[in-house]
């Protein structure tokens, strides 16, 4: 059976040695060369000092105690953990990607600008939007940008709308981003079949409504079939329709947010476009908009004229900047390479297969893990462990932890909250039928295992069940804080 | 080729740029897929999309057909080859992004599949590696900044500043936030977007035209009872180590003190926590992260332990497992968007975790002596270069008298943009013109130098400057 | 406690999917473009077909079931498993190293030739030799080359000497290489103190003796203090003195084979010069010689004239070639980078520290694992588990296997055979004192553990004790052979 | 600086080339080391070397002092930049080494620390990863060659040939070994060194000047009762798929048949095991391994199961662990030098294991269809190019009528060396002149082409050839 590696877990600060790092010029320096103003000079610098050998050992061994897509199935619903192709790693290792400075003159960065420009166009085509900014660093950052654009748009039309309507099934970043931009968030409940409740939507809309934020397919993996009516309701109220692109992987080449009449959309390149998630980031969250919102996009805009690319900062209606420079360029290069590799046909095939995999896997699991809503699903689906909980006292959390013992990452759990004991499963298109069959078999096996074994899982990971309550209570966030406390856990 | 698309202009543009036939190549359905469809009682992939209303369907994408890996690499490398790189052109650009040396081992580690291809560590038991590496990152930053609480990253320094301002509001519910006039215009723009929701007021204070440090008088005149926070950078936009920062907490004890740093400089400079900083932010790109045309970066964010529950962003905490062994997990999540939703301390979800790991590995390889040495080399090299430039006719260098870290302002008789064009002819990527940031400094530019520049690189710059002057 | 990762261990041939590899030109090909002669056309090609995702997962997970230097201490005596610096990996990733063709014209490969030439000179300096060939692919290959040189040398002097004398403590490749070159091997026993027995040596020498092959320090880690007499005896008999450079890591900057009057020496760049061993190879085994043997070196010889490097093939007395092209170039680049990084001072420091580490560790272990010979040791030492075996029935093999459970690689065991229950330990210079102290503590703890636990070790590795007898009996060397047999092990 | 060195010339040469002051920099003894010395009762490192007789001691090395990683990389990159590479110059060189595409994933895997930094898997329990990967390599080669027994690599094709010849002797104790005249001179030279010990006799047989295949008549005339083995290559030196190989076992059942292959070609060509080969060797560099200026390479070595105990080199066998689970280990070690010593079947110890892993990953990524497709593309591309060259005045192409794989001989009116110099002016790395291998073919050269050449690359070559013709 699967067993994760376990290594010595001392902190790097708790190891002993002598650094063998070396620098040119250092030996020749005299104190005179380095005038540090009085009062500003540091007296204590309590960092470890280790030879590179120890550092490499430490982090190679740490890495073995971490699970990534490259280790196996990572069916984390809503996160689209597909395979990250290795040619993209290679490209970002080139100096022509990683060794260019953002303040270089335009004529020295034509390659970078070309790739960004073509990526913008490709994203326009994929989303059916008219213009794209690549600046936001992540999905939530894209949402925030979208909310700033919404604000600018309405202000430009002389309106100070101050509410954003969001379904209760939405990802937490949606309300948080809207709030950050100063909006009051109005949450509407989902209908009984897990979709937008048109009546509730209508009721929530008013002349205060700036936008309605949804994702389609929604977080249950259900396509909002009433999307045309929804768009109409929103637009009739004078609000904008915002598309959370986290679920774009379900529909490429089949429909577009543009076609569905969305006004603003963000992309998660680290989901749909196969860039690695890096244990939490970096990502990239470009934002696409319809023509009428284009003037408000962040500066600079990449302009192509006479086969020369340039950066246009002279955009008076722009919201300005949402971060430094032009976006997470190295991530953008990866995504662009992925799009070129896949092509229009390949992206459509990816979505088709993602939906097929999802529906196929759902079918295998349905008997044991009932679906709250018996619809055709798109690229992900939510099942419930409620039956298991009632019959054997096994909760969604327990199933998740037990899956780790079999060498799978767990699905997303307890989200969306409208499903009891939710397990949100997104296999993605890069998994084989064989993998899905094996995963389904394990899911079923878990349901029939000794509940005690399941509840006390995981057993095969580097550590056993982690005490999250203690962590929150103590809030020890650094070795410095830990030492200050003077006590330790057994380690 | 694609019917019923509403945005013909765009489609047309795409077609033009890609310069390829659109190709909605017929998909080969594989045997595996036929089996799976059969299991679902379906006979075509199209049937999986019957829930998409006909009116919004499209028939494929108007993009070129897929290409083999060979072709992708050939094409992209050809495009990228149009960039000039700091790898083969001495580059004196700084102003937020620096060309530092990255030990090869850093790439070895951050390239490890298990780190690179993992998601945010939601399941701590199977993600201890990333969690511990991030805890170590937090620990390094805590030690450097002198503050106990550090988050596991924000997007970059400018968004960290935005988050810091809103955190100040959460700390004291006040709305005035003071920033230096001498600061990157990009940061100012980002900041104003971040405080828009709270309607905070951003007020600039000036700098001393002689030293380049902040103008304490001016600052005093602008601090009032509604002042939530004061932001100061050291080294600042001019590369000057701002000694005035030392006195701000004493002077203005009511306002939160936010200090912006270059983490490398903290190898020799006092930890801001030791002179009263409540929040320290900074750009972590210097710590083993490629310049990457400006992204991904690493927003450093640290604060006093007592404010930890007001802090934005993900944090990793130390705890133990059910057998009492040390373990790590994400913690204080009740501050975060996925729990607190619209009341969260920030919307940040995906952050720059892998860059934080890079910083951790980088600092581990340098070690105490290495970081200290690096800071010293940067100071010494900049000092030498600024003096030598100052000896050239037509250049006033350094333009400010304060102590510098690794960049400095030069007043030039030639306009900076023109000077850069001339330098480019010598295969040199020149300096950053300052006017965009501080409009009246339109004959000033910033030159940065680091351990990456050999003596030959310095000489090349000096020679070129002499020729163009 | 340490636990190695365990993953699914199906063969790649036992997995199922569809390859997503793609090629230009393929789609346009017609049968006419590809004329394959009748009879030569293959009809069956039974290879797996898997998406890259599955392949990457498979091999990433396999790698986690493998232990390398980067995972921890690898005290494999005689193998010098020091840390392999990462800048060398970076260099070999450059097209200017990995994308040059050996048949390119000289003027297009000046960089490669320069590096090889300077590496030759550096190796001359380190070994005290007059000329070096970089051609041999490994240590044993260097030995074989050395034996061919020996033969050419004597033939050139009109002598057909047909014996090579070798101590019984020598590495197996020494006699094998001599035999391959057609020599009869004469083995001489070591003296009671583990060194060359001068009387035995004298007795073995005759006019038939072509060479005497030794390593100094020898495989026990003991320096042959009588080296000057040895050289004299050998040279007086008209034979050559051959230095097996596997142990060069002990003496850099302290002595040289040249100084000790050796005539031929091979280097193991994958030991002394920190190039990674790759799970068995590639290595590089350059051979250095004194001036009088230089004419016989393999072709081509790199020549520097008027700042231009060229390849000289016009060397009538040369033995010709021992392999294609110029050597394992990518390995040579790594070794050269290492030498430049370390410098003369650094190499000496490396040897000093290697010897210090070895002696320090030996000191910690001596009580529990007695040393057969109580000498000052060099970079490695041999202890015996005989005491443990007699008292508790724990053999060297058991100690070795049990060490794996603690996350250390095992030392070399049962070599050299003149020591009973030998454990041959070489910590190398790249280990910290902390690591050595911890390893010593574990070695001692093992000695006091329940013998049954030790004898049944390993317990914490990906598989338990492997049945090597079965493997040898059945000799199943491929999946094809395995399928043909029709039976399986439980897997 | 260094006293008493006997080889002053060399030392002098080194000093000149490195062009640095010799620097026996004083060593900083670290606190850790002082502690360790103390534990040994010593007070200096020198005392560790008292057993080295004074007369043979040296006082450090006359090499430049150590450098920082920054400097090392800067220096080496500058030197290496003097190489022209096939990465940016179309390269038509083959003759044993080919520029094939390597999927990025191959590098990801062979760069994994656990594979890269491990030794030969002496402890199977902790080395299953490498062992299984090598077993899979053996399995791939077994399938491609049609032989059940494969070793886990020899150094390269030429040493594999040497080992094959001596293995033939072990099989039948005969001493005559036949090889094609049309074969790389390097292989011939290596072979003669490998058989020197056994005093085997190497005899060459000719080729058919029309087809470029072997001359069966000539071969018949040279096979006698003492013939131990016959070596044939397909594709051969001329790039010709030698169909005569199919008949050799029938014709000469008493001699061992050794077939040399390009493993890529086996994607479409019959497995030599199926036409009677006893041993198959080949150069595995094509299988996902960089050209690397000719090393490291991958010597493929396969034989019939019944001969396995006579085979040279390391082999990995399938077995089980103490709990009955499948496991792998090195096996048949009693053939090897560390056990059998002077009676071993070979002296090979360190081999090319990591290259075998690369081949395994490469073949896994290509898969059945990929390898077949690749072989086809190579055949088709070569065919197209040879025909187009044939249309140019002054070039007779292909010079032989047989079917070709991915290279072919061109008879040129210009001397090949001169032609290459002219091509270089067009930034093209031309072909391999044949005269070094087959002296009478002094107006002949070999051009190789693979999937790496775009149509533009072919056109560039054709255009250049037209200009120089
Ligand atoms: C539905 C949805 N929306 C938004 C986001 C936020 O994206 P990011 O994590 O890139 O900020 C996520 C990611 O978790 C998501 O799943
Ligand atoms: C003492 C000794 N000599 C020779 C060799 C052979 O070297 P290689 O494995 O590089 O062929 C070795 C390596 O194991 C060795 O330890």
pLDDT of B317: 98
Is residue D22 pLDDT above 80, yes or no? no
CA distance A49 to B364: 7
**Chain A residue numbers touching B303 (CB-CB < 8 A):** none
**Chain A residue numbers touching C56 (CB-CB < 8 A):** 70, 83, 86
Tens of pLDDT, residue by residue over A121-164, are: 999 999 999 999 999 999 999 999 999 999 999 999 999 999 99
Looking at chain C, which residue has its C-alpha nearest residue B31?
A: C18
Closest Cα to atom 15 of ligand 1: A246
Reported as a pLDDT band with limits 50, 70 and 90, residue C487 is: low
List the CATH code of the domain at B104-361.
3.40.640.10
Is residue C313 pLDDT above 50, yes or no? yes
Reported as a pLDDT band with limits 50, 70 and 90, residue C192 is: confident
CA distance D454 to A397: 54
CA distance A341 to B14: 16
Q: CB-based burial of residue A316 (10 Å sphere; 0-12 exposed, 13-18 middle, 19+ buried)? A: exposed
Tens of pLDDT, residue by residue over C139-184, are: 999 999 999 999 999 999 999 999 999 999 899 999 999 999 999 9
Is residue D19 pLDDT above 90, yes or no? no
What is the 8-class DSSP label of residue C375?
Answer: S
CA A140 – ligand 1 centroid, Å: 6
Give percent above pLDDT 90 in chain A.
92
Q: Do D101 and B452 touch (CB under 8 A)?
A: no
pLDDT of D75: 97
Q: Do C22 and B32 touch (CB under 8 A)?
A: no
Q: Which of B17, B150, B424 sits opposite A108 (nearest CB)?
A: B424
Q: Do C103 and D93 touch (CB under 8 A)?
A: yes
**Chain A residue numbers touching D113 (CB-CB < 8 A):** 56, 60
CA B73 – ligand 1 centroid, Å: 30
**To probe the interface with B, which of A344, A431, A432, A457 has the most B CB atoms within 10 Å?**
A344
CA-based max dimension of chain A: 77
Tens of pLDDT, residue by residue over C351-397, are: 999 999 999 999 999 999 988 877 788 999 999 999 999 999 999 99
Reported as a pLDDT band with limits 50, 70 and 90, residue D28 is: low
End-to-end distance of chain A based on CA atoms, in angstroms?
Answer: 26
pLDDT of A377: 87
pLDDT of C374: 75
> Coil, helix or strand for B79?
helix
Whether B69 contacts A341, CB under 8 Å: yes
- Give yes or no for residue D13 CB within 6 A of ligand 2: no
pLDDT, averaged across chain D: 93
CA B296 – ligand 1 centroid, Å: 18
Looking at chain D, which residue has its C-alpha nearest residue C69?
A: D117
Q: Do D104 and A18 touch (CB under 8 A)?
A: no
Is residue B10 pLDDT above 60, yes or no? no
Residue A267 tokens, joined? 């992309």
pLDDT of B15: 41
pLDDT of B250: 96
What average pLDDT does this structure show over D410-425? Answer: 96
Is residue D339 pLDDT above 80, yes or no? no
Is residue D14 pLDDT above 90, yes or no? no
Q: CB-based burial of residue B467 (10 Å sphere; 0-12 exposed, 13-18 middle, 19+ buried)? A: exposed
CA distance D289 to D242: 25
pLDDT of A194: 87
What torsion do the CA atoms of D224, D227, D231, D237 make, to the nearest 10 degrees? -50
Tens of pLDDT, residue by residue over A296-352, are: 999 999 999 999 999 999 999 999 999 999 999 999 999 999 999 999 999 999 999
pLDDT of D54: 96
pLDDT of D66: 96
Looking at chain C, which residue has its C-alpha nearest residue D84?
A: C108
Q: Which of C97, C463, C479 sits opposite D80 (nearest CB)?
A: C97
Q: Say which CATH topology domain A351-455 has.
A: 3.90.1150
List the CATH code of the domain at C88-342.
3.40.640.10
Sorted by where each begins, the domain ranges of chain D are 6-73, 104-361, 367-468
CA–CA distance from C367 to each of C213, C392, C410 (Å)? 34, 16, 19
What average pLDDT does this structure show over D145-169? Answer: 98
Reported as a pLDDT band with limits 50, 70 and 90, residue D6 is: very low
Which segment of A419-423, A487-491, D399-403 scores lowest on mean pLDDT? A487-491
Phi-psi region of A411 (alpha: psi -120 to 50; beta: other; left: phi over 0): beta
Reported as a pLDDT band with limits 50, 70 and 90, residue A485 is: confident
- Give yes or no for residue A246 CB within 6 A of ligand 1: yes
Reported as a pLDDT band with limits 50, 70 and 90, residue B27 is: low
> Coil, helix or strand for C212?
strand
pLDDT of C5: 98
Q: Say which CATH topology domain D367-468 has.
A: 3.90.1150
What average pLDDT does this structure show over A373-380? Answer: 84
Q: Indicate the pTM of the whole model.
A: 0.96
**C42 near B CB under 8 A:** no
Is residue A211 pLDDT above 60, yes or no? yes
Listed in order, strand segments (DSSP E) in C336-429 are 381-384, 412-413, 422-425
Is residue D7 pLDDT above 80, yes or no? no
Whether C254 contacts C351, CB under 8 Å: yes
pLDDT of B23: 36
CA–CA distance from D300 to each of B100, C139, C240, D158 (Å)? 44, 20, 34, 10
pLDDT of B28: 59
pLDDT, averaged across chain A: 95
What average pLDDT does this structure show over C8-24? Answer: 95
Tens of pLDDT, residue by residue over A412-457, are: 999 888 899 999 999 999 999 999 999 999 999 999 999 999 999 9
Give percent above pLDDT 70 in chain C.
99
Q: Do A12 and B364 touch (CB under 8 A)?
A: yes
Tens of pLDDT, residue by residue over B297-353, are: 999 999 999 999 999 999 999 999 999 999 999 998 877 777 777 778 889 999 999
**To probe the interface with D, which of B70, B104, B106, B374 has the most D CB atoms within 10 Å?**
B70
In 3D space, the residue among D398, D51, B394 whose CA is nearest the CA of residue C217 turns out to be: D51
β-pairing, A308-312 vs A301-305, is: antiparallel
Q: Do B70 and C23 touch (CB under 8 A)?
A: yes
Sorted by where each begins, the domain ranges of chain C are 1-65+462-491, 88-342, 351-455
**Chain C residue numbers touching D323 (CB-CB < 8 A):** 464
pLDDT, averaged across chain C: 95
Tens of pLDDT, residue by residue over C67-105, are: 999 999 999 999 999 999 999 999 999 999 999 999 999
pLDDT of B451: 98
Fold match flag (B104-361 vs B367-468): no
What average pLDDT does this structure show over A18-43? Answer: 91
Is residue D351 pLDDT above 50, yes or no? yes
Reported as a pLDDT band with limits 50, 70 and 90, residue A487 is: low
Tens of pLDDT, residue by residue over B128-187, are: 999 999 999 999 999 999 999 999 999 999 999 999 999 999 999 999 999 999 999 999
- Give yes or no for residue A244 CB within 6 A of ligand 1: yes
Reported as a pLDDT band with limits 50, 70 and 90, residue D3 is: very low
Is residue A3 pLDDT above 50, yes or no? yes
CA distance B176 to A464: 48
**More confident of the two residues D433 and D333:** D433
CB pairs under 8 A between C and D: 751
Tens of pLDDT, residue by residue over B216-267, are: 999 999 999 999 999 999 999 999 999 999 999 999 999 999 999 999 999 9
Whether B338 contacts B230, CB under 8 Å: no
CA distance B425 to C43: 61
Residue D290 tokens, joined? 């960089």
Q: Residue C188 pairs with which residues in a beta bridge?
A: C167
In 3D space, the residue among B151, B164, B163 whose CA is nearest the CA of residue B229 turns out to be: B164
């Amino acid at each position: 059976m699967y067993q994760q590696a376990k290594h010595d877990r001392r902190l790097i600060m708790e190891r002993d040695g002598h650094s063998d790092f070396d620098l040119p010029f250092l030996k020749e320096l005299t104190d005179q060369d380095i005038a540090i103003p009085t009062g500003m000079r540091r007296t204590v610098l309590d960092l470890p000092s280790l030879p590179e050998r120890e550092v490499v050992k430490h982090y190679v061994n740490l890495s073995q105690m971490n699970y990534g897509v490259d280790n196996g199935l990572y069916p984390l619903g809503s996160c689209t953990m597909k395979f990250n192709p290795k040619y993209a790693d290679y490209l970002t290792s080139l100096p022509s990607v990683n060794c260019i400075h953002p303040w270089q003159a335009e004529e020295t960065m034509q390659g970078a600008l070309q790739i960004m420009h073509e990526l913008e166009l490709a994203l326009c085509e994929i989303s059916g939007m008219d213009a794209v900014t690549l600046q936001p660093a992540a999905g939530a950052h894209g949402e925030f940008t979208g909310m700033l654009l919404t604000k600018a748009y309405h202000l430009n039309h002389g309106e100070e709308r101050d509410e954003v309507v969001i379904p209760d099934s939405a990802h937490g970043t949606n309300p948080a981003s809207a709030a950050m931009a100063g909006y009051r968030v109005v949450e509407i409940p989902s209908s009984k079949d897990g979709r937008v409740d048109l009546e509730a939507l209508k009721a929530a809309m008013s002349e205060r409504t700036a936008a309605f934020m949804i994702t389609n397919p929604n977080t249950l993996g259900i396509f909002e079939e009433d999307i045309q009516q929804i768009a109409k309701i929103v637009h009739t109220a004078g609000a904008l329709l915002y598309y959370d692109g986290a679920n774009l992987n379900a529909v490429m080449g089949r429909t577009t947010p543009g076609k569905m009449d969305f006004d603003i959309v963000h992309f998660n390149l680290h989901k749909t476009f196969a860039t690695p998630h890096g244990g939490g980031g970096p990502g990239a969250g470009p934002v696409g908009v319809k023509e009428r919102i284009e003037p408000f996009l962040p500066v600079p805009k990449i302009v192509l004229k006479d086969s020369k690319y340039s950066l246009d900062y002279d955009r008076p209606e722009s919201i300005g900047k949402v971060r430094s420079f032009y976006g997470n360029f190295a991530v953008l290069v990866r995504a662009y390479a992925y799009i070129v590799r896949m092509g229009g046909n390949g992206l459509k095939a990816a979505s088709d297969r993602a939906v097929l995999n999802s529906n196929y896997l759902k079918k295998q699991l349905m008997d044991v893990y009932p679906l709250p809503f018996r619809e055709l699903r798109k690229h992900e689906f939510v099942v419930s462990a409620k039956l298991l909980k009632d019959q054997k006292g096994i909760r969604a959390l327990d199933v998740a932890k037990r899956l780790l013992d079999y060498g799978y990452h767990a699905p997303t759990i307890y989200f969306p909250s409208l499903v009891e004991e939710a397990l949100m499963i997104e296999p993605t298109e890069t998994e084989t039928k064989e993998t899905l069959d094996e995963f389904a078999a394990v899911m079923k096996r878990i349901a029939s295992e000794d509940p005690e074994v399941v509840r006390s899982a995981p057993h095969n990971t580097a550590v056993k069940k982690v005490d999250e309550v203690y962590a929150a209570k103590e809030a020890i966030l650094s070795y410095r804080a830990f030492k200050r406390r003077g006590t330790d856990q057994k380690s | 080729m694609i019917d019923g698309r509403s945005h013909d202009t765009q489609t047309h543009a795409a077609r033009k740029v890609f310069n390829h036939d659109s190709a909605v190549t017929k998909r080969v359905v594989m045997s595996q897929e036929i089996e799976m469809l059969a299991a679902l009682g379906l006979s075509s992939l199209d049937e999986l999309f019957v829930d998409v209303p006909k009116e919004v369907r499209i028939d494929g994408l108007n993009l070129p057909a897929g290409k083999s890996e060979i072709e992708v690499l050939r094409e992209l490398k050809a495009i990228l080859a149009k960039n000039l790189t700091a790898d083969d052109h001495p580059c004196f650009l700084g102003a937020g992004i620096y060309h530092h040396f990255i030990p090869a081992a850093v790439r070895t580690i951050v390239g490890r599949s298990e780190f690179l291809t993992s998601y945010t560590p939601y399941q701590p038991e199977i993600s201890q590696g990333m969690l511990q590496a991030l805890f170590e990152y937090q620990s390094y930053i805590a030690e450097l900044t002198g503050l106990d609480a550090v988050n596991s990253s924000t997007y970059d320094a400018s968004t960290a500043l935005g988050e810091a301002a809103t955190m100040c509001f959460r700390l004291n519910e006040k709305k005035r936030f003071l920033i230096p006039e001498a600061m990157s215009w990009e940061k100012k723009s980002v900041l104003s977007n971040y405080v828009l929701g709270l309607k905070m007021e951003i007020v600039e204070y000036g700098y001393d035209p002689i030293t380049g440090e902040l103008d304490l008088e001016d600052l005093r005149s602008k601090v009032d009872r509604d002042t939530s926070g004061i932001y100061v950078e050291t080294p600042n936009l001019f590369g000057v180590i701002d000694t005035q920062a030392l006195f701000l907490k004493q002077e203005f004890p009511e306002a939160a003190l936010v200090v912006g740093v270059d983490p490398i400089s903290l190898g020799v400079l006092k930890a801001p926590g030791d002179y009263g900083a409540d929040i320290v932010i900074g750009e972590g790109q210097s710590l083993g992260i490629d310049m990457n045309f400006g992204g991904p970066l690493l927003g450093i964010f640290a604060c006093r332990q007592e404010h930890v529950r007001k802090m934005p962003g993900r944090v990793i905490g130390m705890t133990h497992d059910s057998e009492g062994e040390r373990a790590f997990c994400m913690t204080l999540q009740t501050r975060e968007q996925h729990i607190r939703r619209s009341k969260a301390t920030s919307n940040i979800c995906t952050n720059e975790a892998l860059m934080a790991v890079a910083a951790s590995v980088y600092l581990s390889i340098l070690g105490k002596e290495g970081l200290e040495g690096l800071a010293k080399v940067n100071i010494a090299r900049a000092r030498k270069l600024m003096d030598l430039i100052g000896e050239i006719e037509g250049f006033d260098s350094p333009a400010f008298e304060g102590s510098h870290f690794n960049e400095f302002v030069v007043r030039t008789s030639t306009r900076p943009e023109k000077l850069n064009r001339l330098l480019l002819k010598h295969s040199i990527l020149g300096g950053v013109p300052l006017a965009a940031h501080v409009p009246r400094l339109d004959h000033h530019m910033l030159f940065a130098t680091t351990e990456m520049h050999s003596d030959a690189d310095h000489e090349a710059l000096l020679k070129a400057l002499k020729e163009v002057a």
